[in-house]
Amino acid sequence: MIDSIYTRFLTRLGFAFLFVMAISAQSRAAEMPASCDNKGFLAVQRTYENNAYLPKAYVPVHICGKVLALSKKSRHTRSGAHGYFYVYVGEGVSIRIVSNLDAMVNDPLWPWLQTGDYVEVAGRYYYDNPRRQGIDWTHKNISRKWPFSGYVMVNGNKYE
């Protein structure tokens, strides 16, 4: 009896490991979508929300939608000043956008958007858990940690 329980456990663990490795390789090999892809984003988000054992996610995404809310004041963290806002992407889902204002090339004064604006966002989707997820790296700077350039387009102005 114990042998069969142990065998089932190892089999499930093996499948979980293979699934995690496939997702991890897919996110490393992924490319930034050329245009807005809310359905693709929602599929990635559902994958991580439905599989609690998956490792932390970093996936290039390109979304668009209406600004639902924003923080009127920027906040300072270890990596500089940040602006925060939420975008509705469909199917009842909104996602938090984090803009590193100090890393942006055109160094805009925050806030450079308002509730109701239509935005296009290219950046890095991160998922730590259902309450800690969003899109960051919405600026032009790239590094070894993240090879994709991001931006926020609002009212014809591109903030990168």
- Does residue 8 sit within a domain? no
* Predicted TM-score of the model (pTM): 0.79
Higher-confidence position of 5 and 58: 58
- Does residue 18 sit within a domain? no
User: CA nearest 82: which of 66, 70, 64, 68?
Assistant: 70
Residues 131 and 95: beta-carbon distance below 8 Å = no
Tell me what the mean pLDDT of segment 135-158 comes to: 90
Confidence of residue 144 (pLDDT cuts 50, 70, 90): confident
Domain holding 132, by residue range, is 31-159
Residue 96: predicted pLDDT: 97
User: CA nearest 134: which of 84, 81, 90?
Assistant: 84
Residue with tokens 């991160």: 126
Higher-confidence position of 67 and 50: 67
The CATH number assigned to the domain holding 87 equals 2.40.50.140
- Does residue 24 sit within a domain? no
Residue 16: predicted pLDDT: 45
Tell me what the mean pLDDT of segment 46-65 comes to: 89
- Does residue 6 sit within a domain? no
Residue 13: predicted pLDDT: 46
Query: How many domains are there within the chain?
Result: 1
Q: Does 15 have pLDDT greater than 50?
A: no
- Does residue 5 sit within a domain? no
Mean of per-residue pLDDT scores for the chain? 84
Q: How far apart are CA 121 and CA 128, in angstroms?
A: 20
Q: Which helix (H) or strand (E) holds 19?
A: helix 2-29
